[in-house]
Amino acid sequence: MTETTQTFTKRTTSPFRFDVVGSFLRPAELKAARAQFQNHEISADQLKAVEDKAIIELIKKEEAAGLKSITDGEFRRQLWHTDFFWGLQGVEEYYADQGYVFHDLVTRTESVRLTGKISGENHPFVEHFKFLHDHLSDPSTAKQTIPSPAQFIAELYRGDNRDITKKYYPSEDELIQDITKAYKTVALDLYNAGLRVLQLDDCTWGMLAGFNNGAIDNSAPVDQKAIAESKELYVTVNNEFLKDLPEDLIVNTHDCRGNYQSTWASAGGYDSVADPLFTRENVHAYFLEYDTDRAGGFEPLAKVRDNQLVVLGLITSKNGELEDKQAIIDRIHEAAKYVPLDRLCLSTQCGFASTDEGNNITEEQQWAKIELVKEIAQEVWGN
- Band the pLDDT of 225: cuts 50, 70, 90: confident
DSSP alpha helix (H) spans, 220-259: 224-242
Considering only 80-84, 143-147, 299-303, which range has the smallest mean pLDDT? 80-84
Tens-digit pLDDT profile for residues 24-47:
999 999 999 999 999 999 999 999
Average pLDDT of the residues in 308-321: 96
**What is each CA distance from 177 to 87, 187, 239, 288, in whole angstroms?**
18, 15, 11, 28
Give the Å distances, CA to CA, from 19 to 171, 235, 317, 351.
40, 25, 13, 11
**Residue 218 above 50 pLDDT?**
no
Task: Say what the pLDDT of residue 214 is.
Answer: 39
What's the CA gap between 15 and 284, in Å, rounded?
9
Q: What is the CA radius of gyration of the chain?
A: 20
Can you list the domains of the chain with their CATH numbers? 18-381 (3.20.20.210)
pLDDT value of residue 190: 98
Q: Is the pLDDT score of 3 beyond 70?
A: no
When mean pLDDT is compared across 89-103, 153-167, 206-220, the lowest value belongs to: 206-220
pLDDT, residue 266, reads: 77
Residue 89: pLDDT above 90?
yes
Mean pLDDT for the stretch of residues 310-315: 98
Do the bridges between strand 344-348 and strand 18-19 make them parallel or antiparallel, or are there none, so unpaired? parallel
Confidence of residue 61 (pLDDT cuts 50, 70, 90): very high
Say if residue 205's pLDDT is above 50. yes
Distance CA 264, CA 150 (A): 19
Instruction: Give pLDDT, residue 261.
Output: 67
- State whether residue 92 is helix, strand or coil: strand
By three-state DSSP, how is residue 136 classified?
coil
Q: Which of 62, 80, 8, 21 is nearest to 312 (CA)?
A: 21
Residue 220, pLDDT score: 56
Strand partners, 253: 200, 286
